């Protein structure tokens, strides 16, 4: 899989999701399903969207003991998604077991991406609540290297962090980047944003775009604009 635009389908249920995707006509964009939709509609929703021809990033951010995560990943593996994720904070053993659980009998598996530190965690909270003494940047890079050493394929990060991850971990370690906004668009609650064109220059492998597409009157036009800027 090469560079692609992933639409964050942050909808409450099946009805809203299908109504939204019908606006794409014959196009079948790569989509992200998060906890909101998955917990509302369950695995049947993932199967339905796969059957309709979408690639799926299942964003459930697993974090539990290695045995539980390994077995949960084995269940997700049967859903045949294209990408899924976990929290690197679960440690190397949990990540290794996740890779094992996700691997299909034929040796293939969905891409597995690590969340390092949530963007909602401030440097202060990192120190005061999580009692992590290292800086945010050191923590993120250390978790990214641990994820790579554990066999994962990449991390979720800001497009602005892609160059550092590619330099500090490996050029082939994937960066999946939310926080994308058009130059003339609303930033909303995102703080460290880049345009799709800038994300491309910075070397993002996948951009995850939600509201600039989902809240538009013409989602297909905005999606195509994203693809033109990011993929070219």
For residues 113 and 186, give the distance between their C-alpha atoms in angstroms, rounded to a whole number: 28
**Shortest reach from residue 181's CB to ligand C5P, in Å:** 7
Reading the block at residue 30, the tokens are 């790569």
**Shortest reach from residue 143's CB to ligand C5P, in Å:** 13
Please say which residue, 8 or 169, places its beta carbon nearer to ligand C5P. 8
Residue of 68, 92, 103, 119 that binds ligand C5P (CB under 6 A): 119
**Shortest reach from residue 100's CB to ligand C5P, in Å:** 25
* Greatest alpha-carbon span in the chain: 51
| 10 class by beta-carbon count within 10 Å (0-12 exposed, 13-18 middle, 19+ buried) | middle
Contact map string, positions 71 to 110, toward ligand C5P, x by CB under 6 A: ----------------------------------------
| 131 class by beta-carbon count within 10 Å (0-12 exposed, 13-18 middle, 19+ buried) | exposed
Site residues (CB under 6 A) for ligand C5P, limited to 156-215: 156, 178-179, 190, 208-212
In eight-state DSSP terms, residue 54 is -
Please say which residue, 71 or 125, places its beta carbon nearer to ligand C5P. 125
For residues 123 and 38, give the distance between their C-alpha atoms in angstroms, rounded to a whole number: 30
Please say which residue, 97 or 207, places its beta carbon nearer to ligand C5P. 207
Site residues (CB under 6 A) for ligand C5P, limited to 43-62: none
**Shortest reach from residue 117's CB to ligand C5P, in Å:** 9
Site residues (CB under 6 A) for ligand C5P, limited to 17-46: 34
Reading the block at residue 1, the tokens are 């899989």
**Shortest reach from residue 206's CB to ligand C5P, in Å:** 11
Q: Which residues are part of the catalytic machinery?
A: 61
Residue nearest to ligand C5P (CB): 210
Please say which residue, 92 or 119, places its beta carbon nearer to ligand C5P. 119
H/E run at residue 105: none
Pick from 169, 231, 156, 188: which is nearest to 5 by CA?
231
The DSSP string of 138-173 is: HHHHHHHHHHHHTT--EEE--GGGHHHHHHHT-TTS
Contact positions vs ligand C5P (CB under 6 A) = 8, 10, 34, 119, 156, 178-179, 190, 208-212
């Amino acid at each position: 899989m090469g560079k692609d635009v992933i639409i964050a389908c942050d909808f409450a249920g099946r009805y809203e999701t299908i109504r939204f995707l019908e606006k794409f006509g014959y196009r079948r964009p790569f989509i992200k399903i998060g906890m909101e939709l998955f917990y509302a509609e369950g695995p049947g929703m993932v199967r339905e969207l796969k059957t309709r021809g979408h690639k799926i990033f299942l964003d459930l951010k697993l974090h539990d003991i290695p045995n539980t995560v390994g077995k949960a990943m084995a269940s997700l593996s049967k859903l045949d998604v294209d990408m899924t994720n976990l929290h690197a904070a679960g440690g190397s053993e949990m990540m290794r077991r996740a890779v094992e659980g996700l691997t299909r009998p034929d040796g293939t598996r969905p891409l597995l991406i690590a969340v390092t530190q949530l963007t909602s965690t401030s440097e202060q909270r990192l120190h005061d609540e999580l009692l992590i003494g290292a800086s945010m940047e050191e923590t993120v890079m250390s978790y990214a290297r641990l994820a790579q050493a554990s066999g994962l394929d990449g991390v979720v990060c800001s497009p602005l962090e892609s160059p550092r991850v590619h330099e500090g971990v490996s050029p082939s370690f994937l960066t999946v980047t939310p926080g994308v906004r058009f130059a003339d668009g609303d930033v909303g609650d995102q703080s460290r944003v880049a345009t799709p064109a800038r994300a491309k220059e910075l070397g993002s492998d996948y951009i995850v775009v939600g509201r600039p597409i989902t809240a538009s009157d013409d989602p297909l036009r905005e999606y195509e604009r994203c693809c033109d800027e990011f993929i070219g």
